Amino acid sequence: MINVLEQKEIISFIQSKWVGRDVVCFEETGSTNVEAKVLAEQGAVQGTLVVADSQSGGKGRRGRSWHSPKGSAIAMSLILKPELETDKASMLTLIQAIAVAKALEEICRCKPQIKWPNDVLINEKKVCGILTEMNLNKTEIASIIIGCGVNVNQESFPEDISHIATSLKLETGQMFNRAELIGCICKYFEKYFEEFMVAKDLSGIVAEYNNYLISKGRSVKVLDPQGEFQGEALGINAQGELLVKEKNGGIVEVYAGEVSVRGIYGYV
């Protein structure tokens, strides 16, 4: 078991054809997403993987911070340069979420759940967060950066988040090789991304994704700037929108970029 993530170690676990074939490693950085954006602007190819052993200024959705302590978590970002309409970019967050869930099942033998649109949970606690950022060249996509933070071998969390955050070690009692997990995530991301680029939607993963969706069949609160409402989460559609059934029977398609969803009785 290595304590420091190294390029050679990560490459040895890469099974994908192009995702993660080029790896850039940092011992410490503020944000792998920021580093990846710079590299993309400098000409880094699609599939380039940026990894940090320690990340001090990681970003979460809606401006939240994500700190990855040295030697214990995964902080990784993928550079993509797809020929894709801008309104489809948010679907890549869901592809990364299912890729992480599949990797955790394979490597850790656990039962992950997905909290739409960008968190992966174990036992209803957050073990992974995902942040997708799009960079434009006028009106076209120049690059899409998908950042992913996974709590792997942490043994504790600050008191203010200990009720919602966890790690693979805390949930399974085992230590895991972060490089192996990174390789497995890349393998599944490539698979689902290639299917997505053919279909140009998520039709190929809707059923599988909904099997992981923790809020399916549960009451949720939709925090829409136009007005909050409650309903029952039914699952996602092929556009990655969350279908929420209102009390009057109407079904609302909730777009990830517009609103946030919370469980009625807690984090999930």
Domain identity same for 92 and 197: yes
Contacts of 95 (CB under 8 A, 6+ apart): 189, 192, 193, 196, 202, 205
CB 215 within 8 A of CB 268: yes
Residue 99 domain flag:
yes
Residue 51 domain flag:
yes
- pLDDT at residue number 2: 41
Half-sphere exposure of 114 (CA within 13 A, CB side): 30
- pLDDT at residue number 263: 73
Contacts of 180 (CB under 8 A, 6+ apart): 13, 107
- pLDDT at residue number 62: 47
- pLDDT at residue number 113: 97
CB 264 within 8 A of CB 220: yes
> What's the rounded Cα separation, in Å, for the pair 187 and 201?
19
- pLDDT at residue number 265: 58
User: What's the structural domain count of the chain?
Assistant: 2
Instruction: Count, in order, helices (H) and strands (E) of the chain.
Output: 6, 14
The residue range of the domain holding 243 is 215-263
Residue 1 domain flag:
no
Domain identity same for 132 and 233: no
Task: Find the DSSP H helices in 13-63.
Answer: 32-41
For 236, the 3-state DSSP assignment is strand
Domain identity same for 107 and 185: yes
- pLDDT at residue number 3: 58
The CATH number that applies at residue 172 is 3.30.930.10
Residue 268 domain flag:
no
**Interval 17-60: pLDDT, tens:** 999 999 999 999 999 999 999 999 999 999 999 999 998 865 55
Q: pLDDT (tens digit, 0 to 9) for every residue of the chain, 268 residues total?
A: 445 789 999 999 999 999 999 999 999 999 999 999 999 999 999 999 999 999 886 555 445 555 567 889 999 999 999 999 999 999 999 999 999 999 999 999 999 999 999 999 999 999 999 999 999 998 999 999 999 999 999 999 988 888 999 999 999 999 999 999 999 999 999 999 999 999 999 999 999 999 999 999 999 999 888 888 999 999 999 999 999 999 999 999 998 766 778 776 566 6
DSSP letter at 87 equals G
Identify which of 249, 241, 255, 246 has the alpha carbon closest to the alpha carbon of residue 221: 246
Domain identity same for 139 and 185: yes
